Amino acid sequence: MLTKSIRLTDDEANELEEVVRLSGEVEASILKRAALRGLREDRLERAVLLYLRGSGTSEAARFARVPRARFIDLLVDKGISVLEGPSSLPEELDHVARLTNDRGLADVAAALGGTPGPIPPSASRVELAPAARESGRRRQGPPRKKR
């Protein structure tokens, strides 16, 4: 065990004294818990920065010392994008359409720009694209600001 000491201003010392009085806990325990919580918050903030600068969630979570699944959950809480563009949604829909032999879904995928699969397209799919995109945009409102 190591002992570390810190200097507090009068105001900070008064605040600590108040917490000790209200909680009935030992001052050293309160200080230790506060320091550990602070360190954790600091690591988490730095891990988020790492992620935003291009690290994967695994690396960032290791730095933050939190489970990866929890780190992803925390990113969502903070409103940080986990799934970045460009969109592969048309290709994904096309893939599902082929696996399930769903022509309607294949048409939508193709209208959105996916690679046409082996399912023959409907005649209407070219006309579908602009209307679908425009309608989707209207429904979703203006694009969010990039973080």
| Binding of other proteins by 35 (CB under 8 A) | no
Contact track, other proteins, 48-67, x by CB under 8 A: --------xxxx-xx--xxx
Q: How many CA atoms lie within 13 A of 56 on its CB side?
A: 4
Q: How many CA atoms lie within 13 A of 107 on its CB side?
A: 13
Sole binder of other proteins in the list 86, 118, 120, 123 (CB under 8 A): 86
Which among 3-11, 12-20, 42-50, 134-142 is the span making contact with other proteins, rule CB under 8 A? 134-142
For other proteins, give the closer residue by CB, 8 or 80. Answer: 80
In terms of CB distance, is 20 or 128 closer to other proteins? 128
- What is the rounded distance in angstroms from the CA atom of residue 3 to the CA atom of residue 19? 21
Helix axes 27-52, 68-77, angle to 10 degrees: 80
CA distance to 33, 40, 60, 62, 72, per residue, from 66 (Å) = 17, 9, 9, 7, 10
Contact residues for other proteins, defined by CB under 8 A: 36, 40, 56-59, 61-62, 65-70, 72-73, 75-76, 79-93, 95-96, 99-100, 102, 104-105, 108-109, 111-112, 128, 131-133, 135-137, 139-140, 143-144
